Amino acid sequence: MTTTVAFIGLGHMGGPMAANLVSAGYRVLGHDLVESCLSAAVAAGVEAARSAVEAAAVADVVITMLPAGRHVLSLYGPEGLLAAARPGTLFVDCSTIDVADSRAAHAAAEAAGHRSLDAPVSGGVVGAEAGTLTFMAGGEESAFAQAEPLLAVMGKKAVHCGDAGAGQAAKICNNMILGVSMIAVSEAFVLAESLGLADQALYDVASAASGQCWALTVNCPVPGPVPASPANRDYRPGFAAPLMAKDLQLAANALRAGGIDAELGLRAAELYARFAEGPGADQDFSGIVRAIRAATSNPTDTQKGSTT
Ligand code: NAD
């Protein structure tokens, strides 16, 4: 019997993910508040549902791909998807949301007699279109096993990270490493430039030494050393700065909730929030190197706060 999937949230990520499920032979009932998102999905073979609740009522699996935790919790909530679905329906939330919101969503789904998995992704729109996303999943082993065939259609790798919320935890911890390391690599290039050291020379040394990391060797923030990095195309994303700012904010929420003394993670969240609200609004997150360079080239900026 064909598995019926309700897919709620057919935006940049959800649209192509739902289309890949259709191509693999699943019956997909989709819903989005934005008409153009829904009609693009319908063109790819998704059946339009009049509401998210209508789709969930007949589904074996409900997948959500929404902007934030409040969207997931309000859709799950009273008179929502959990009440409409048949008992034992599998709920898979692929959105990137707060760990606390994710755990609340799991608890609500289980209290309503359903199965639940958090399964945020990395790989961006390109990965969603190509079906090469990486899923980081949290929830019971049996829920992960049931979701695996669908995740295998939409992605190239799925890692079961642990209990409820573990997928979200893995996502924000990884992206906190990435955000902090991109700032560190960018600051190092700006320092090198001020010391008269060529970008390529720093790259040649650091990429073969202990400074080696993804932010340097794959997404290098200066043009030249890594031809495929966004720096070579005027910082067009790639991984957009506002998404990095969002993920670091989620990490900062969890750091504060846990009382963790993580000065760099919290500072990275501040720096990316400022960058994403300003010049980085439509840039790759590696464009932060230009903000660092711009602030550095103006001595009055660098001396702010100095009394001497
Ligand atoms: P998006 O804004 O393009 O899509 C979200 C969709 O949800 C929108 O089309 C919106 O209309 C819809 N929506 C909101 N509330 C709804 C409701 N009540 N009912 C039905 N539809 C509703 O966002 P996106 O880029 O697709 O990202 C989705 C999630 O994936 C986010 O949590 C994001 O952080 C995460 N993510 C995005 C990327 C990326 O590169 N875009 C990468 C990794 C993870």
- The topology (CATH level 3) of 4-163 is Rossmann fold (3.40.50)
User: Which ligand 1 atom sits closest to the C-alpha of 237?
Assistant: 40
Digitized pLDDT (tens) for each residue of the chain, 308 residues in all: 789 999 999 999 999 999 999 999 999 999 999 999 999 999 999 999 999 999 999 999 999 999 999 999 999 998 999 999 999 999 999 999 999 999 999 999 999 999 999 999 999 999 999 999 999 999 999 999 999 999 999 999 999 999 999 999 999 999 999 999 999 999 999 999 999 999 999 999 999 999 999 999 999 999 999 999 999 999 999 999 999 999 999 999 999 999 999 999 999 999 999 999 999 999 999 999 999 999 996 544 443 333 33
73 lines ligand 1 (CB under 6 A): no
Backbone φ and ψ of 11, nearest 5°:
-85, -145
Which residues make up the CATH 3.40.50.720 domain(s) of the chain? 4-163
User: What is the torsional sign of CA 57, 61, 66, 69?
Assistant: positive
Q: Which of 156, 171, 246, 304 is catalytic?
A: 171
Cα of 140 vs centre of ligand 1, distance in Å, is 25
Cα of 92 vs centre of ligand 1, distance in Å, is 14
Q: Which of 65, 93, 136 to mutate to test the pocket of ligand 1 (most atoms within 8 A of CB)?
A: 65
List of E strands, 69-163: 90-93, 115-118, 121-122, 133-139, 155-162
171 lines ligand 1 (CB under 6 A): no
Active site residue 156: no
**Structure pTM?**
0.93
Q: Which residues contact 120 (CB under 8 A, 6 or more apart)?
A: 94, 95, 96, 97, 135, 136, 167, 168, 171
CATH class of the domain defined by 169-297: mainly alpha
Cα of 192 vs centre of ligand 1, distance in Å, is 39
Cα of 198 vs centre of ligand 1, distance in Å, is 40
75 lines ligand 1 (CB under 6 A): yes
Cα of 250 vs centre of ligand 1, distance in Å, is 16
Which residues make up the CATH 1.10.1040.10 domain(s) of the chain? 169-297
192 lines ligand 1 (CB under 6 A): no
Exposed/middle/buried for 267, CB within 10 Å: 0-12, 13-18, 19+? Answer: middle
Backbone φ and ψ of 245, nearest 5°:
-60, -40
